[in-house]
């Protein structure tokens, strides 16, 4: 399991790195970012995965969220993968920001056109953690957490619910909580997974909660009430109802005046990093 170093730069006493590797899951070159906190130079540190949203790359969170200062203080290794395979050459995989490249929805596609390359679920849950464990000696992968934004919030919540014990903490900014019920999901899920809605359920947080999946800990979710995607796409009230019915611990905070942008994420990143650091200590 090898990777190439694209760049490494000093940042808050640690190192901000960008890397690439040949991915067996997605059948092409994948890029990912790792922030190595200063504590990683002398010992093991917990690993916190961040999944970004539609249109994003492995750079978006690293450049825009302002997470490194506190990650350095808390001793958290941040790992941010790209949001999909790239340069797939698959017809229909480019040209629409809501589907295809940069819109992988953290699932394993099953439709003939997409099944070979669009395997972000297996990439994020298996291949990338194995690569981090093998390639970065300071990574204490027994202490892993996961969070994300929008499509990446959906990824983080569904992955944590389906992999009990693999992640000790989970949180999300403005997640898509019920893709089976909103336009983004209704566009993407049939094209990746086919028309049978039963196949969509493993990739829908509300459906997972309603079918018995639980996370052993509190889900932390922040949502801006001035987010233009709130009503049509995000629908946090569906998460609140499903969590209540399921007895799933949830801290859902509606933040007045905040939109869907990385200014919103910058504002609340400290709360999320501290939430993860507490669970990963
Ligand atoms: N081009 C779109 C807006 C796209 C957008 O807002 N993407 C979000 C994630 S949306 C859900 O996954 C994002 O994180 N963008 C990156 C950024 O730097 O803000 C439009 O036309 O509305």
Q: Is the whole model's pTM more than 0.95, yes or no?
A: yes
| Token reading at 196 | 């049978």
State the CATH number of the domain containing residue 170: 3.40.50.1820
Per-residue pLDDT of the chain in tens (281 residues, 90 and over written 9): 799 999 999 999 999 999 999 999 999 999 999 999 999 999 999 999 999 999 999 999 999 999 999 999 999 999 999 999 999 999 999 999 999 999 999 999 999 999 999 999 999 999 999 999 999 999 999 999 999 999 999 999 999 999 999 999 999 999 999 999 999 999 999 999 999 999 999 999 999 999 999 999 999 999 999 999 999 999 999 999 999 999 999 999 999 999 999 999 999 999 999 999 999 99
Pocket probe mutation, ligand 1, options 99, 172, 260, max atoms within 8 Å of Cβ: 260
User: What number does the ligand 1 atom closest to the CA of 233 have?
Assistant: 11
Is 272 a known active-site residue?
Answer: no
Question: Domain of 250?
Answer: 4-280
- ipTM of this predicted complex? 0.97
User: What number does the ligand 1 atom closest to the CA of 103 have?
Assistant: 12
> Can you tell me which residue has the tokens 């941040």?
78
- Domain count of the fold of the chain: 1
DSSP symbol at 251: E
How big is the CA angle at 250 (ends 245 and 254), to the nearest 5 degrees?
110
Closest CA to 30 of 95, 126, 112: 126
């Amino acid at each position: 399991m090898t990777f190439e170093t694209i760049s490494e730069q000093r940042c808050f006493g640690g190192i901000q790195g960008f890397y690439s590797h040949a991915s067996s899951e997605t059948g092409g070159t994948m890029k990912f970012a790792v922030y190595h906190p200063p504590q990683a130079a002398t010992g093991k540190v917990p690993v916190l995965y961040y999944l970004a949203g539609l249109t994003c790359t492995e750079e978006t969170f690293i450049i825009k969220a302002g997470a490194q200062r506190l990650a350095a203080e808390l001793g958290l290794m941040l790992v941010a993968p790209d949001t999909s395979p790239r340069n797939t050459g698959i017809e229909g995989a480019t040209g629409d920001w809501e589907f295809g490249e940069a819109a992988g929805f953290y699932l394993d596609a099953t439709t003939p056109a997409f099944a070979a390359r669009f395997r972000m679920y297996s990439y994020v849950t298996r291949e990338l953690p194995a690569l981090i464990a093998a390639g970065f000696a300071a990574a204490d992968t027994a202490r892993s957490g996961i969070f994300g934004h929008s499509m990446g919030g959906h990824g983080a919540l569904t992955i944590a619910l389906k992999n009990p014990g693999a992640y000790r903490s989970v949180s999300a900014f403005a997640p898509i909580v019920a893709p089976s019920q909103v336009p983004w999901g209704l566009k993407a899920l049939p094209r990746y997974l086919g028309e049978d809605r039963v196949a969509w359920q493993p990739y829908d947080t509300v459906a997972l909660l309603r079918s018995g999946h639980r996370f052993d800990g509190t889900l932390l979710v922040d949502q801006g009430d001035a987010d233009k995607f709130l009503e049509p796409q995000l629908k946090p009230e569906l998460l609140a109802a499903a969590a209540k019915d399921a007895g799933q611990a949830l801290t859902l905070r509606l933040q007045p005046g905040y939109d869907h942008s990385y200014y919103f994420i910058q504002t609340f990143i400290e709360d999320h990093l501290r939430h993860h650091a507490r669970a990963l200590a």
